[in-house]
Amino acid sequence: MRQINYSKAITEALREEMRRDEKMIIMGEDMGVMGSVFGLTVGFMKEFGENRVIDTPISENGFTSVAIGAAMRGLRPVVEIMYVDFAMAGYDAIANQAAKVSYMSGGTLSVPMVIRTPAGAGRRSAGQHSQSLEAIFTHIPGLKVVAPATPYDVKGLLKSAIRDNDPVVFIEHKSLYFYDAKCDVPEEEYLIELGKADIKRAGNDVTIIAWSQEVIHALDAAAQLAEEGISAEVVDIRSLVPLDFDTIRNSIIKTRRAVIVHEAVKRGGYGGEIAAQISDELFDYLDAPVKRVAGSNVVIPFSPALEDKIIPQTGNIVATVRELLHGGKNAVFTNAV
C-alpha cells in the first residue's frame, strides 16, 4: 500500500474535504499565501480561492469568533491556531462561545467547526510554543477533542471532524510533522469515527494508554519490554472526547494493570481523569495501582539539555512498566517524570 507521513495525511484530508464540500473554508494565520507555517496548505489558495482560504490577522480570539459566526450561518470553517499555546489568546471564543452555542440555544443552533492546532514539545521552542493543553479543552462540555498519532489516523479522523456538527479541537503533535516514519494510508477515501480507540499493539501483561506522540513512545517501549518477556498492550485512545472507555475496560480486564502516558504536565492532565474512571469502574480487576507517566509540572525549557528530561520518553515508560510488574502492589515507585 502507498505510504505517506503525518503532515501529508493532514494536507490530503483538508484538500479532499475542500473539494467535497464548498461550504468548507480554511482560516488562520499564514494559511493562504504561505500555505501555513508548517506548509500544510501550500497551493490551497490557488486551488480554492481567497474566499475559502483566508489569511487572518493575528487575532486568535477574533478570527475564531468569526469562524463561529460563519459556522452558525451554515459554513464549515476549519480554523488553524498556529500553536496550541496561542489558543489561550482565543480561549473565550473556544470555551465560552463555540462550546456553548448548541446548549445555550436549546439545540437550535450549532457550530460545525474544527480548530486544528499543533501542540507538543521536542522542537526547542520553549515555554510558549511547546505545551500540550488538551486537558484544558476536555474540561469544557460542548467541545470534542481529538489527538491522533499516526498518518492513517490523522487523515481519517480529520475528515470525520470536519464533517462533525460540533466544534472539534483537533490536536496535532508538531514533532510528528517532521517524523520520518511513514505508514500505510489508502488512496481511496476512508473515515475514522470520533470516539473509537485503537489497539496499536496487543498484549497480556499491562495496558499502556496513550495518545498523540506518546503512542509512538509507548510502541517503542512495548517492543523493548517484549525483549524482557513483558507483553504490553498499547491502547491509542485517539479521541479524548468522546472517550472509548469500552476498549480501555476490555484491555484492563485482560491485563489487570494500566499505565497512562501523556506529554502534558501530570497535574490536572487528562491521565488523571482516565485513572479515576479506571479506579471507579475496574478497581476489582486491578493487580496494581494505575500509574501515570507524564510531563513534569514545569514550564517547557528551551535548553536541549533540559527539554527531553521533562517530557516522557520511551525509557520512562519502560521503567514504569518494569516497576509495576516486578515491584508488585507494595513497590515504591519513583517519581521520575
Active-site amino acid positions: 60, 129
For the CB of residue 18, give the shortest distance to other proteins in the complex, in Å: 13
Check binding of 235 to other proteins (CB under 8 A). Answer: no
Interacting residue with other proteins among 11, 36, 65, 132 (CB under 8 A) = 65
Backbone angles phi, psi at 87, to 5 degrees: -65, -20
192 is an interface residue for other proteins by CB under 8 A: no
Cβ 287 to other proteins shortest distance, Å:
24
Decide if residue 74 touches other proteins (CB under 8 A).
Answer: yes
**Residue 241 is a binding residue for other proteins (CB under 8 A):** yes
Strands (E), 81-129: 114-119
Q: How many CB atoms lie within 10 A of CB 284?
A: 6
Phi, psi torsion values for 150, nearest 5 degrees: -120, 160
Residues binding other proteins: what is the number (CB under 8 A)? 48
Does 280 interact with other proteins (rule: CB under 8 A)?
A: no
> 9-46 burial, b for 16+ CB within 10 Å, e for fewer?
bbbbbbbebbeeeeebbbbbbbbbeebbebebbeebbe
> What is the residue whose three cell numbers read 480486564?
253
229 binds other proteins (CB under 8 A): no
* Residue 224 host element (H or E): helix 214-227
Give the burial class of 107: count Cβ atoms within 10 A of its Cβ; 0-12 exposed, 13-18 middle, 19 or more buried: exposed
Which of the residues 108 through 167 are near other proteins (CB under 8 A)?
A: 108-110, 112, 141-142, 144, 164-166
Binding site for other proteins (CB under 8 A): 25, 51-52, 56-57, 59, 61-63, 65-75, 92-93, 96-97, 101-110, 112, 141-142, 144, 164-166, 194-195, 241-243, 245, 277
